[in-house]
Structure 1
């Protein structure tokens, strides 16, 4: 089954919101700050701003990336879609549109750290989490085209 990338549409707020909500619910160290409907609404706002690209697999949204200019705000995959190269496809698409990207990830998210390092991102800063709403220590990563 092949995957396809496309700009998100308003109707994608629900599946992207579900993916993001499931991550928060299924990750033991992640604070549970928002209800499902709030998360869907947040994804709807990012979609309305034109930030979101989705990856579709088998006719279903399997993941998404949200990018505001050079900043990657979100990159999430449904649990069943992980390990199939879909995150790499979303990231490669963003890298193909920019000479520089940056993002934040939580220090406890070691899988994300390995993923971004594998794709050429380098650590630029660490914080104690006082500046993010989750209050979790985080890391800023940067990527620049060679």
Structure 2
């Protein structure tokens, strides 16, 4: 993914997500392992540090979010095959693809949705 923002802008954005109360943090042995940011049904971000990947942290974060929602929607880039596989494995379906003209990065992306199954 191209860097389109400065580190200061990235930190300010993260601070705004935290200030809005959207962020759930995953810690492992006192260190931040990852986080998720959610606004209602929209999953704005799900990130696990490279050193912590493959340990189920992303799944735990996502499952925590799913436990409080009926529907979750998110965007991921078409080039991010690992994210696509992750979300499909967790029951998301593809809603649509775009050419990226409407996102900041100008990269083709995919809209996914998860719905809680009726009991």
TM-score by length of 1: 0.79
Q: Which residue of 2 aligns with 1:55?
A: 26
Out of 95, 107, 124, the position equivalent to 2:95 is 124
Q: Which residue of 1 aligns with 2:35?
A: 64
Counterparts of residues 1-146 of structure 1 (less than 5 Å) = 30-146=1-117
Unaligned runs of 5+ in 2: none
SS where residue 65 of structure 1 aligns? strand
Moved over 3 A (4+): none
Number of residues paired by the alignment?
117
**Higher helix proportion (structure 1 or 2):** 1
- Root-mean-square deviation over aligned CA pairs: 0.5
